[in-house]
DNA sequence: CGAAAACTTGACCCAACTCAACGAACGTGG
DNA sequence: CCACGTTCGTTGAGTTGGGTCAAGTTTTCG
């Protein structure tokens, strides 16, 4: 038997960043049965149209993304996910998947039983509320992405995506602050921003030329957070990072 | 005292379209205390950055929309809402609003006490699940809007918005099927699609020119649902209209 | 009836796309 | 550990969908 406490600690960490939990809440989470899985890059975790699987995946390491295809065949990435994120909350109570979820890198997940998680959401109200909040924050991020692809020009748009990636990495405690490993090809960046890979390339070069970012291979760093976030029109309000710190009402 | 049953029946209708409810569930909803409010067009119901109000609004008549502003001052409409929609579920458990909600037309709402609704979501699990599902469907719509503004060209994009409006109007039982009153100016259509009002105008004319839509004032009708939905690349899967009809798992 | 808002149309422009070619990096198997 | 095929990144040249600006016209509404 695996050590539940160690494996599911990212889940507790995530939920505690959403709502205050007590010892019993934590114990109930640690008691969840789960299995470990590894996915290769581009592997599908969820396919649009299918009935939801019997499991809910928690990302332990690596990256994943949500994606939809248009009838013409073009692809829009609608969100990115990293360690600590729950991938199936968006389908927890729905009878059919409305989008695809794919591994971006090699991805390790802990798969919790879906009905156990559904039960937990009602049996432990504080945990249920934390799950609600997590799903609502995902929805907030979707709204910001609508703004990003709908209103911002290429430079601002790419910069905004990088800022979100950095802010969420920092919040999740991934890597060291200020340096980020961007696990996406320029084509994938294009699919996430509604640009072509060619234009993403030119845009990244332009951002580097004015000193806003530094690139070496897939490693990315910012000259100054102040600079890049101003260029991106980025405000982290929509990530609700301080949610659990404020008195719940 | 107002007749709760009559006023809150759209709420029950909406929640029953999300999950199966029993008599006790319905009674609990009907027992919710509420107040009626009327908003003039463009009035703000929620402002970005503010702590959530003590009430959750249900739309009784009229239309509303969610909106975010960029630092440069441009506006992106991120969703539309009509009779039966709950406007504050997206903030139900969050400590700070991340977007604005505005009346599109004259808008009548029934405002339910926020903490009463929060309590209901845990006390009546079937109702709580229906609320979860409603919030998840809103999130699904946000994802589709990311695809819409990110990937589709102007004609397809506008057509898709019209299709969603029609499909949701039909599902909510508003007006007669096949004819719709589009309550938006072309500038608002532009803000919803990431286009300029000038280009929306040309695009609507182009759609009318090929016979896909008919316009008279603000009234809109489709030559054939088949035709417009094909031109829009529209599939109603993401609206999860049949959610409650399938066995819940 | 009059003013303001919304719609329409034309002329011109530019940010981002397309197409195409090539170079660099990666990973895989011999 | 190297060869080699494949994916990814880079760059240039030319095109275009949608934006901008500006001037009417129509509708709405007080």
Q: How far is CA B111 from the centre of its chain?
A: 16
Subset of residues 130-159 in chain A with CB less than 7 angstroms from any atom in strand C:
153-155, 157
Subset of residues 116-145 in chain B with CB less than 7 angstroms from any atom in strand D:
none
Predicted local confidence at residue A219, as pLDDT: 84
Across the interface, which of B94, B136, B193 has its CB nearest the CB of A240?
A: B94
- Tens digit of each residue's pLDDT (9 = 90 or more) over B98-141: 999 999 999 999 999 999 999 999 999 999 999 999 999 999 99
Burial class of residue B69 in the structure, from the number of CB atoms within 10 Å of its CB (0-12 exposed, 13-18 middle, 19+ buried) = middle
Chain A residue numbers with beta carbons less than 8 Å from the beta carbon of B46 are none
Give the integer Cα–Cα distance in Å for A99 and B144.
9
**Among A97, A191, A238, CA closest to B78:** A238
The reply to whether B183 Cβ lies less than 7 angstroms from strand D is: no
Give the integer Cα–Cα distance in Å for A69 and B233.
10
Give the integer Cα–Cα distance in Å for B86 and B93.
14
Structure tokens at A40: 């290769």
pTM recorded for the entire structure: 0.95
The answer to whether residue A123 neighbours chain B at the CB level (below 8 Å) is no
Predicted local confidence at residue B53, as pLDDT: 86
Give the integer Cα–Cα distance in Å for A93 and B132.
7
The DSSP letter of residue A182 is -
Average pLDDT of chain B? 93
pLDDT at residue B249 tops 90: no
Q: How confident is the model at residue A244 (pLDDT cuts 50, 70, 90)?
A: confident
Separation in Å: D10 C1' and A219 CA: 18
Nucleotide D27: nearest residue by CA–C1'?
A: B217
Q: Residue B246: phi, psi to the nearest 5?
A: -90, 155
pLDDT at residue A93 tops 80: yes
CB contact under 8 A, B248 and A125: no
CB contact under 8 A, A98 and B152: no
- Tens digit of each residue's pLDDT (9 = 90 or more) over B200-211: 999 999 999 999
Nucleotides of C under 7 A from a protein CB: 5-11, 15-20, 25-26
Q: How far is CA B37 from the centre of its chain?
A: 18
- Tens digit of each residue's pLDDT (9 = 90 or more) over B35-85: 999 999 999 999 999 998 899 999 999 999 999 999 999 999 999 999 999
The answer to whether residue B155 neighbours chain A at the CB level (below 8 Å) is no
Neighbours of B61 (CB within 10 A): 15
Give the integer Cα–Cα distance in Å for B28 and A231.
50
Give the integer Cα–Cα distance in Å for B227 and A215.
47
Q: How confident is the model at residue A179 (pLDDT cuts 50, 70, 90)?
A: confident
**Residue by residue, what is the 3-state secondary structure of chain B?**
CCCHHHHHHHHHHHHHCCCCCCHHHHHHHHCCCEEEEEECCCCEEECCCCCCCCEEEEEEECCEEEEEECCCCCEEEEEEECCCCECCHHHCCCCCCCCEEEECCCEEEEEEEHHHHHHHHHHCHHHHHHHHHHHHHHHHHHHHHHHHHHHCCHHHHHHHHHHHHHHHHHHHCCCCCCEEECCCCHHHHHHHHCCCHHHHHHHHHHHHHCCCEEEECCEEEECCHHHHHHHHCCCHHHHCCCHHHCCCC
Which residue is listed with tokens 């999950």? B19
Give the integer Cα–Cα distance in Å for A80 and A164.
10
Predicted local confidence at residue B247, as pLDDT: 62
Predicted local confidence at residue B248, as pLDDT: 58
Chain B residue numbers with beta carbons less than 8 Å from the beta carbon of A244 are none
- Tens digit of each residue's pLDDT (9 = 90 or more) over A110-163: 999 999 999 999 999 999 999 999 999 999 999 999 999 999 999 999 999 999
The reply to whether A72 Cβ lies less than 7 angstroms from strand C is: no
pLDDT at residue B1 tops 70: no
**Four-CA torsion A180, A184, A190, A196, nearest 10 degrees:** 110
Nucleotides of D under 7 A from a protein CB: 7-13, 17-22, 27-28
**Among B141, B217, B231, B228, CA closest to B178:** B228
Helix boundaries (H) for chain A? 4-16, 23-30, 114-123, 125-151, 154-172, 186-193, 197-209, 225-232
Q: How confident is the model at residue A176 (pLDDT cuts 50, 70, 90)?
A: confident
How far away is chain A from the Cα of B47, in angstroms, using its nearest Cα? 13
Chain B residue numbers with beta carbons less than 8 Å from the beta carbon of A164 are none
* Angular region, B113: left φ>0, alpha ψ -120 to 50, beta rest: beta
**Residue by residue, what is the 3-state secondary structure of A24-56?**
HHHHHHHCCCEEEEEECCCCEEECCCCCCCCEE
Which of A1-5, A189-193, B10-14, B226-230 is predicted with the least confidence, judged by mean pLDDT?
A1-5
Structure tokens at A153: 């020009």
- Tens digit of each residue's pLDDT (9 = 90 or more) over B10-31: 999 999 999 999 999 999 999 9
Return residues 192-221 of B near A (CB < 8 Å).
Answer: 193-194
Burial class of residue A43 in the structure, from the number of CB atoms within 10 Å of its CB (0-12 exposed, 13-18 middle, 19+ buried) = middle
């Amino acid at each position: 038997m695996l050590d539940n406490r160690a494996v599911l600690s990212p889940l507790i960490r995530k939920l505690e960043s959403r709502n205050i939990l007590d010892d019993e809440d934590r114990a109930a989470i640690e008691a969840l049965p789960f299995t470990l899985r590894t996915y290769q890059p581009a592997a599908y975790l969820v396919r649009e149209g299918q009935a939801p699987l019997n499991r809910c995946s928690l990302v332990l390491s690596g990256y994943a993304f949500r994606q939809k295809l248009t009838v013409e065949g073009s692809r829009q990435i609608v969100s990115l996910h990293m360690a600590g994120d729950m991938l199936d909350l968006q389908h927890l109570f729905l009878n059919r998947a409305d989008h695809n979820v794919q591994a971006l890198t090699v991805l390790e997940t802990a798969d919790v039983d879906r009905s156990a998680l559904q039960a937990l959401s009602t049996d432990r109200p504080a945990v249920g509320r934390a799950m609600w909040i997590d799903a609502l924050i995902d929805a907030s991020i979707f709204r910001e992405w609508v703004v990003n692809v709908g209103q911002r020009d290429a430079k601002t748009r790419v910069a905004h995506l990088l800022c979100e990636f950095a802010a969420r990495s920092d919040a999740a405690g991934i890597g060291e602050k200020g340096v980020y490993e961007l696990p996406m090809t320029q084509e994938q960046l294009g699919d996430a921003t509604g640009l072509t890979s060619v234009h993403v390339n030119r845009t990244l070069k332009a951002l580097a030329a004015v000193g806003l970012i530094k690139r070496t291979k897939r490693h990315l760093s910012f000259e100054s957070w102040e600079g890049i976030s101003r260029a991106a029109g980025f405000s982290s309000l929509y990530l609700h990072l301080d949610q659990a710190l404020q008195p719940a009402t």
